[in-house]
């Protein structure tokens, strides 16, 4: 039984994250999507709201769960008997930060392997940060996030500009 942890901020989950989750769920017995609960980092959605949105997104994937974590990721892996950390890589620009994290995590706990996965090309430019920026300024992010995330974003930005040409 191999458990993989897919950690991140997920503020909010996007279809790019979901693509990675679906791919990972085919490789591992159990995938835990672990949301970092970090009060020092400002976020649009609370950690609990982010977990809720992930849970709704993975309803069709029986071996995938969502959880909150704080502290060191490798410690969370240890406590959940997980031997794999999954990280999505969209472009070469992601690589340097990811490489540093993977090697530091390996130094802290050699038994945990980091696996980099690529999302579908369609999502290579997609990030939670851009989704929030575009949506808050009145742009459309339909098709880039699940529909209920779109609804949740609408509630967070009640006074976003009403652009005529946006669907
Ligand atoms: O989606 P993000 O913000 O790129 O995810 C970063 C995350 C949560 C994976 C990373 O910040 C993390 O693992 N934080 C937990 C603290 C930790 O273990 N730090 C050492 C990592 S080398």
Residue 19 domain boundaries: 3-156
What is the domain-level CATH number for residue 19?
3.40.50.620
Confidence label for 6 from pLDDT (cuts 50, 70 and 90): very high
Number of domains in the chain: 1
Q: Whose alpha carbon is nearest atom 4 of ligand 1?
A: 8
Residue 166 lies in a domain: no
**54 found inside a domain:** yes
CB-ligand 1 contact for 103 (6 Å cutoff): no
Q: What is the pTM of this model?
A: 0.97
Domain-located, residue 162? no
At 37-90, the pLDDT tens digits run 988 889 999 999 999 999 999 999 999 999 999 999 999 999 999 999 999 999
Whether 164 is in a domain gets the answer no
Contact 54, 166 (CB under 8 A): no
Active site positions, annotated: 17, 41, 90, 128
Q: What is the distance in A from the centroid of ligand 1 to the CA of 9?
A: 8
Reported as type and span, the H/E element at residue 69 is: strand 64-69
């Amino acid at each position: 039984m191999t458990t993989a942890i897919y950690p991140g901020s997920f503020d909010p989950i996007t279809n790019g994250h979901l693509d990675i989750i679906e791919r990972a769920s085919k490789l591992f017995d159990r995938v835990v999507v672990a949301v970092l609960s970090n009060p020092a980092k400002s976020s649009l959605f609370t950690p609990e709201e982010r977990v809720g949105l992930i849970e709704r997104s993975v309803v069709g994937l029986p071996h995938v769960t969502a959880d909150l974590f704080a502290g060191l990721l490798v410690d969370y892996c240890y406590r959940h008997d997980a031997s794999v950390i999954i990280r999505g890589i969209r472009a070469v620009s992601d690589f340097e930060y990811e490489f540093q994290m993977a090697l530091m995590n390996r130094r802290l706990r050699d038994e945990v392997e980091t696996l980099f996965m690529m999302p579908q090309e369609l999502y290579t430019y997609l990030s939670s940060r851009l989704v929030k920026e575009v949506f808050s300024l009145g742009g459309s992010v339909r098709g880039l996030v699940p529909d209920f995330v779109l609804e949740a974003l609408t509630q967070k930005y009640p006074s976003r500009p009403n652009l005529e040409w946006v669907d």
